[in-house]
Amino acid sequence: MTVADIKQNVQQKMQKSIEAFKADLAKVRTGRAHTGLLDHVQVDYYGSMVPISQVANVTLVDGRTIGVQPWEKKMVAAVEKAIRESDLGLNPATQGDLIRVPMPALTEERRREMTKVVKSEAEGAKVAVRNLRREANEQLKKLLKDKEISEDDERRAQDDVQKLTDKFVAEIDKLGQQKESEILTV
């Protein structure tokens, strides 16, 4: 493995950490409705658990309401039950074959809790990026020990890895702050 391979590998892994962090942030409720909120809700579809998006059409009715329309009439009760029993604290209401899921307004206390969740998610993402930096530095030290690169090359490569780490940590901070301001906006 060359220095360029190590740098490229660590950059790709750090980018994946950012994508995972973005996915985690999407699950944190702000107060506005968005269809991604129900992505991880699982529905019992004839004995197997499947994501809600595979048995129903999920749309936004308005800024505070999600509409869920199951493709089969007999799935309405199962979908409503899955939403009610999810850890999201939502209370769906059925109107014919459309399930309306109103978003309750967030209290100040709940908003503060959500910002704490965002901060801990951000810290977890930063730890993941720092662990990738450590792994890359260990690989560089191994190349130096095996005399495949010079000390100067190893030092330069470590500096490049550190710059990558700083860039990705700054992006995590920025995404976390954006989400926090979104949550705190009434």
DSSP 72: S
The candidate with the shortest Cα–Cα distance to 183, out of 98, 78, 88, 110, is 110
More confident residue, 88 or 121: 121
Which residues does 99 contact at the CB level (< 8 Å), separation at least 6? 56, 67, 68, 69, 70, 76, 79, 80, 83, 92, 93
Q: Is the pLDDT of residue 92 over 90?
A: no
Mean pLDDT over the full length of the chain = 86
Q: Are residues 81 and 21 in the same domain?
A: no
Q: Are residues 124 and 90 in the same domain?
A: no
The rounded distance, in Å, linking the Cα atoms of 61 and 69 is: 11
Give the CATH number, domain containing residue 79. 3.30.1360.40
Q: What is the pLDDT of residues 41-76, one digit of tens each?
A: 888 888 888 888 888 888 888 877 889 898 888 888
Q: Which of 94-98, 110-114, 159-163 has the lowest mean pLDDT?
A: 110-114
Domain limit, last residue, from 55, 74, 102: 102
Q: Which residue pairs, CB below 8 angstroms and at least 24 apart, start in 76-83?
A: 78/43, 78/44, 78/45, 79/43, 79/52, 79/55, 82/41, 82/42, 82/43, 82/44, 82/52, 83/38, 83/41, 83/52
Count how many domains the chain has.
2
> What single-letter amino acid sits at 168?
F
Domain limit, last residue, from 76, 102, 128: 102
The rounded distance, in Å, linking the Cα atoms of 170 and 90 is: 34
Give the CATH number, domain containing residue 13. 1.10.132.20
Q: Are residues 115 and 180 in the same domain?
A: yes
Q: Are residues 62 and 111 in the same domain?
A: no
Q: Would you state the pLDDT for residue 12? A: 93
Q: Are residues 114 and 92 in the same domain?
A: no
Query: Above pLDDT 70, what percent of the chain?
Result: 96
Confidence band, pLDDT 50/70/90 cuts, at residue 186: low
Confidence band, pLDDT 50/70/90 cuts, at residue 94: confident
Q: Is the pTM of this model over 0.85?
A: no
Domain limit, last residue, from 102, 132, 157: 102
Q: For residue 97, what are the domain limits?
A: 35-102
Q: Are residues 115 and 167 in the same domain?
A: yes
For the chain, helix, strand, coil in percent to 5 are 60, 15, 20
Check if the beta carbon of residue 177 is closer than 8 Å to that of residue 115: no
